[in-house]
Every structure is written in C-alpha cells, then in structure tokens.
Amino acid sequence: MISIKDLQVSYRLGTRTIHAVDGVTLDIPDGCIVGIAGESGCGKSTLMKAIYGDITSPMHLSRGSITYGLKSAKGRQVTAQNIREEWFKSISYVPQSSMNSLNPVIRIREQFIDFPGTDSNKKRVLERARAYMGKLGLPPEAMDSYPHQLSGGMRQRMMIGLATFFQPELIIADEPTTALDVVVQKDILMLLMELQEEMKNTILVVSHDMGVHYQVTHKMLIMYAGRVVEYGDTDSVFSDPQHPYTKMLIDSLPTIGDDSMRGLMASAAGASGDRAYRVEPILHEVKPGHFVAQVAAAPVAQSVGA
Amino acid sequence: MGALVYIAKRFGLYLAVLFIGLSITFLLPRLMPINPVDGYIGQIQSRANGALSAEAIAELRENLENLYGLKGNLFTQYVDYMKRIVFSFDFGPSFTYFPQPVSQMLMAALPWTLSLLLTATVIAWTLGNLVGLVAGYFHKKKAASILEFVGILLYPIPYYILAVTVLLLLAYVFPVFPLSATFPVGQMSWEKVGMIIYNSLLPGITLVLAGFGWNILSMKALAVATTEEPYVIYARLKGASNWTRMTRYVFRNALLPQVTALALSLGMVFNGALLTEMIFSYPGIGLVMRAAATGGDYNVLYGAITISIIAVATAGLVIDLLYPLLDPRIRHK
C-alpha cells in the first residue's frame, strides 16, 4: 500500500514558488488500478513524478511524506530516498509518447538490457523477454527490430512490455494511450488490464479520457488545482459524483442520443436571466461585429443574415 | 541484394555527378571570349618584336592547340578532353612551369595537403564532438559551461590571427617549434619523416584549434536538444546510467548531422588551406592553386578544380554509403 501524507510538491521559479501538488493525503491499496483525472496543470503529472521518485530541480518535496509498502529484492524497505534504485525493478513507468520513447538508432532488444534491471545476466533476460513477447501479442522478432519498423500500437505494447516485464509491484502510466487511435487504445488498455489481472500489481493511470477511466480503473482520483477533490471506487464516483468538478468532468463525456449537454448549455445560459432562450436561437448582433445566439424575445435591434 | 542495388545506384549517381562536373569545367572557360592561344602568341610575338613569319605563327598555333587540347571544334575538343582526363588523368602542361605536366605538380602537392588537413580535420572533429557532447549532456551543470566557453572563445577568432598568435607563442616566445619551418623533399628517410611530422605540428595545431570551436558549439547544441528527446528521458526513468544515456542515447543520435558535416569538410580539404600554407610555408596544393590563379595558369586550375569536384563527390558518396550503417531509419531493405 502506498500512503501519501499531506504531500506538497513545489516548483521554485526564481523568487516564486508554485505548489503544484498542495496537501494531498491518499492511501492507494495494493493490486488495484487507480485512475487519475483532472484538467491540465492540476498536478496529476507532478504527483506521479513524486510517487515515482523522479524529483529533479526545480521540483522538490516541500512538505509531507510518501511511504511505499514495498520491499526491494534484497528485502530492504523502499523509501522516498532509495526509490531510484528500484526503477524498473519494483516500480516502473509507461511514458506518454510511445512513438518516440524508444531510441531510434539501436535495436529494441538492446533497450531491454541497457539499465540495471533485476537480473544481471543479460542473456537470460533476453531469452525471457523473447518468450514474453507472445503475451504482449507481438512476434518474438519484434525484439530484434528497430523502433521505426513497428507501428505505433506495437511500440506502445513494447512500452507496456518493458514496464511489466520485471513484474514490478507498482506501475505508473502517464497518459499511455494519448497518441493512439481509438481501436489501438482499446487493445492497449485490455492488455494492461490482462497483465494486471495476472500480476496483481498496482497501476496508476493518468488520463484525460473519462471513458478510459470508466472501463479500466477500480478506483478514481479527481484532482483540481493541486488538490484531490474526490477519491473513491470508480463505480461509486461515476454513479454518484459528489464534487461539482467531478460532476462536470463526468458530464463532459458525450453519449450517443443524449441531449443533456444541450440542456446544460441552455440552463447555464438561462441562469443569466436577462434574456430568453429557446431550442433554436438565432445569431444577433449585440455590438457591431459581435454576434450571439439568442432568442428574439429580448430587445434586439437587428438580426443577422435576414 | 537490396544493399547491392542501392550501392550500385548510388555509384551510378556518383559517376553522373563527376561527368556533369567535368563537362562544366570544360565548358565554362570556353564560353569566355578570350583565346589563351592567341594571348600566348601575342606575348611571344611582342617579345620577338613582330619578327615571326606567318608560317612560324601557324606552326606555333598548331603546336599550342595540340598541347592544350584546343584543336578542332567544340565537340572534338570535348571528347579529347574527357579521354585525356578519364584515361590518363592528364591536364596538359603547366603554363608557368612549362613543360611540367599539371598532374605531376598536383600529385606532388596533394600528399602534403592531405596528410596535414585530413589529420587535423579528423582530430578537431573528434575532440570537438567529445567536448561538445559532455558540454551538452551536462548543460545544466555550471562546470560544463566552461567547456562551451572554450568553443565560444575559439570559434570567432579569424584563422589568420589564431595562426599568427600560435606561431608567435610557440615559435617565438616559447621557441618549441621552428619559426620558419623547412620541409624536405625528394627521397624520404626516417629522419626526414620525423622532421616533417615535427614541423607539421604547428600548422596542425592551428588547424585543430580553428576547427575545434565550431565542432564544440554544434555538437553542444545538438546534444542539448537530444537530451530533451522522450527516449532519453525514458532511458533516465528506466534507471539507465549517465554513461549509457550519454553515449548510446544522446551521442548516437546527435552524431548523425555531425557525420555529414565531417564528410563535407573532408571533401573541402582537397582545396588545401591557403592561409595555413602561406603562413607556415607549407608546400601544399593551396599554394599551387594560388600561384596558378595569379599567373593565369589555366591547366593547373582545371586540374585543381577537377580534384576538388572528385573530392566533394566522393565525400557525398561516402556519407551516403556510411549513413545507413549509423541510422537504421534510412537503411535500405
């Protein structure tokens, strides 16, 4: 279990300090997929970096603590201080840009062994990795190719493969499907879910796509302005969101045949109260060169296009 | 199989470039309104105070036209010119050092130029890239900016000032090297070779210093940009060591444009380094070309231009054959 207490992560920019993550307290249970959502700049990625232990200037932990319920291969307790030694051993990472996260000029098999992994016998690692390709839905020869010889989907499978190959207990996936088309996205997510089912590791998935979260995650974490605004089981969060921001995020999911967005806009616009609206408003010029869709009930001088 | 087809195609292109280059070299001077034979006859006639008979002039003209490949119409001249260059690398005799053949003059000067400039260019490239790589990879560290400073300091110094300064420092203030070097010619012995190497060190050092700065700066800029690439960031997050990331990730990728730059500068080496050769009285091809340009020695100039064309085209061929080995993305299947 990962336990985060009152975590504040800041960026020092000259004399200014920005708290990108500001007082987050959180318990992540073992063996579940946690989805993290929130607008750009809400602190999702900073929180992920802090958990992964990738803290480089100007980013720093200014308050609070992260406790990993993890043990290294040598039986040592993993802490925020020695987490870097556990990279791609008990904690791993799936990057956002699968398209160019592999070195273009060296073969993929080399990229399985060019870091201090769990096994120092490189030959054995390669043999096992080759056998592992089948599980990723890739031919064993994919190991011997250069990145440009694989499609985007295959490359992202490879990234998932690299992240899961050493059977880490925690995987952080920062928008793992952003650059892929919808069909490939689904395959990748299914692969991730399958592997998680088997290995029972904890996965943190950052995504802007509420549909992805709904399909994949067990728990949902909604962030806003550096804080956690809602955290709970995915079913519960989606069916009964409590925070207004969560409600808006979920409402932003389009549904076929759903007119609620139209209703939402109408009611939001109606809340201003000074103009009447109906289902089919017409564009009117309110100031010279400035048009608004509006119903003719209000005192409107001239209409456009008429 | 595919590789062979690629090499064959590329080689065909190489021959085509040479052919076009040689044709232009042939054509350009013949488009000029001056006839060198007329000029030459005029010179001789004025020296003889117009005492030459019409028959003697006709004979002279005939001989000169034969000698310089100016006989017949443009087409027969062209065929003749191509035959002579392709089969015997013959550019005719030099005007100034008549009757010494041009190819002999060039071949005597080329080894000097090549040994000095190739060595200096390769050393400057290697050192500059290594320093630039370290400066670029660790660009966030203050100590690394000292390395970049070396590049910024060296790059803008005009070569003649750099060369004269080094000459003053290492031959006059601290007389490590001779102020005016002599380069023995003729039969080589170990002693002579040692002397040549010793005397070539000073011009070599100035050339390395001059090429060094540019290599540092360009490699540094490439390395800085490459360290921000997602694959380098991902390698860091995998826990790959600084050494692995710097050599296998940043260097291998930043190297590609630098290889192009190296091959192109090696192609230019054949033109010689005029200033170096003048300052250090080094018997290279630059001095030969300078003498030919000031003395109107057309044949020598044609020869030098032809060697230059061959060199640049060969450099291009070498890059194109080498590049697929370095960058798998353009490897031909």
Q: When comparing pLDDT for B296 and A260, which is higher?
A: B296
Taking only the tens place, the pLDDT of each residue in B307-322 is 888 888 988 898 888 8
pLDDT at A306 over 50: no
Interface touch A88/B253, C-beta < 8 Å: no
User: Poorest-confidence range of A92-101, B37-46, B63-72, B178-187?
Assistant: B178-187
What are the sequence ranges of the domains in chain B?
2-92, 103-330
Q: Do A146 and B248 touch (CB under 8 A)?
A: no
pLDDT tier for residue B233 given thresholds of 50, 70 and 90: very high
pLDDT bin (cut points 50, 70, 90) of residue B244 is very high
In the structure, what pLDDT confidence band is assigned to residue B87 with cuts at 50, 70 and 90?
confident
Superfamily of B103-330 according to CATH: MetI-like (1.10.3720.10)
Q: In this complex, do B238 and A88 lie within 8 Å of one another by their Cβ atoms?
A: yes
The closest CB to that of B238, out of A96, A105, A115, belongs to A115
Chain B CB contacts of A97 under 8 Å are: 230
Buried b / exposed e across B98-137, counting CB within 10 Å, b at 16+? eeebbbebbeebbebbbebbebbbbbbbeebbebbbbbbb
For the four alpha carbons of B45, B51, B54 and B55, in that order, the dihedral sign comes to negative
Between B239, B249, B256, which is nearest A103 by CB? Answer: B249
Tell me the pTM. 0.80
A148 to chain B, any CB pair closer than 8 A? The answer is yes
A162 touches chain B (CB under 8 A): yes
ipTM above 0.90, yes or no: no
Query: Would you mind telling me the total number of residues written for chain A in this entry?
Result: 306
Which of A181-185, A268-272, B84-88 has the lowest average pLDDT? A268-272
Q: Which residues contact A191 (CB under 8 A, 6 or more apart)?
A: A136, A137, A157, A160
Whether the pLDDT of residue A74 is over 80: the answer is: no
HEC string for chain A: CEEEEEEEEEEEECCEEEEEEEEEEEEECCCCEEEEECCCCCCHHHHHHHHHCCCCCCEEEEEEEEEECCECCCCCECCCCCHHHHECCCEEEECCCHHHCCCCCCCHHHHHCCCCCCCCCHHHHHHHHHHHHHHHCCCHHHHHCCHHHCCHHHHHHHHHHHHHHCCCCEEEEECCCCCCCHHHHHHHHHHHHHHHHHHCCEEEEECCCHHHHHHHCCEEEEEECCEEEEEEEHHHHHHCCCCHHHHHHHHCCCCCCCCHHHHHHHHHHHCCCCCCCCCCCEEEEEECCEEEEECCCCCCCCECCC
- Each residue of A283-298: pLDDT tens digit? 878 888 888 876 555 4
Q: Which residues in chain A have their CB less than 8 angstroms from residue B257's CB? A: none
CATH of domain A2-251: 3.40.50.300
CB of A54 less than 8 A from some CB of B: yes
